[in-house]
Amino acid sequence: MFCSRCVRCCRQKNSTTHFVRPSQACYSLSLNSPMSQKSSVSLEYEQLKNQLLADMMAIPAFVPALLRLVSRGEPVPIAALATEVHIPIHDIEQWLRQQPGTDWDSQGRLLGFGLTQRPTNHRFVLDGRTLYTFCAADALIFPALLGQTANVESRCADSGQQVHVKVEPNAVVFADPGQTMVSHIPGSLSSCDIRSTVCNHGVFYASVESALHWQERHPNGVVLPVEEFFNICLAGLKKAGLIPFT
């Protein structure tokens, strides 16, 4: 959560090419946090980082290969994914079938999980191909997993204002508006319905004020500047061994 000081800090800038970074003392995970106690808030910020790192560690090992195959823009036979990762077809299909949010075509081929060929609110343009992601967080972390630059187009879930973010494998390099935030429910990637419990709550906000509206309704969730969220998750992906530690 952000304290009211974040709103004042972020009003000082409104650039489409520079990121506004509220101070670490402005982050909190609880509505009852003693914001006047810097050490307590810093501890909660560390807890938040640890939760996001744990989320990255919970990503199944076959996901990077799944993303690569889905990103080609054609339905993916599960056998092709199993061959790519050297994991039994049954194990992969069982996991994906247990997730009701997985996208399939009429022939039982995979259209996507996280990254999908079926339209959502988050357009993910990769090397000229238009794909989509389940949530804003996916749109931010998938370039790192794919090793490719993506242009993300979405809308503020509060105001409807258009949001554009350019993400390279190692950095968020552009955001318009410059105050763009992302919402996330941490600690839920072990859910039996990730799309419903996590992805449906992961959206972009064009300002801190807009993000706070969501935060008030979801005290167990967090809102972060897109660059801050990306950097924390990137560290988690490296720790999980899903991308090279460079």
- Residues with catalytic roles: 135, 138, 199
Long-range contacts formed by 115-118: CB under 8 A, 24+ apart: 115/66, 115/67, 115/70, 115/71, 115/142, 116/70, 117/70, 117/73, 117/74, 117/75
Q: What are phi and psi of 7, to 5 degrees?
A: -60, -45
**Pick from 128, 129, 117, 103: nearest CA to 194:** 103
The one-letter amino acid code at 183 reads S
How far apart, in whole angstroms, are the C-alpha atoms of residue 212 and residue 59?
A: 28
End-to-end CA distance of the chain: 31
* Residues 49 and 239: beta-carbon distance below 8 Å: no
Helix (H, G, I), strand (E, B) or coil at 197: helix
Sign of CA dihedral 184, 186, 189, 195: negative
Convert 31-95 into a string of H (helix), E (strand) and C (coil). CCCCCCCHHHHHHHHHHHHHHHHHHHHCCCCCHHHHHHHHCCCCCECHHHHHHHHCCCHHHHHHH
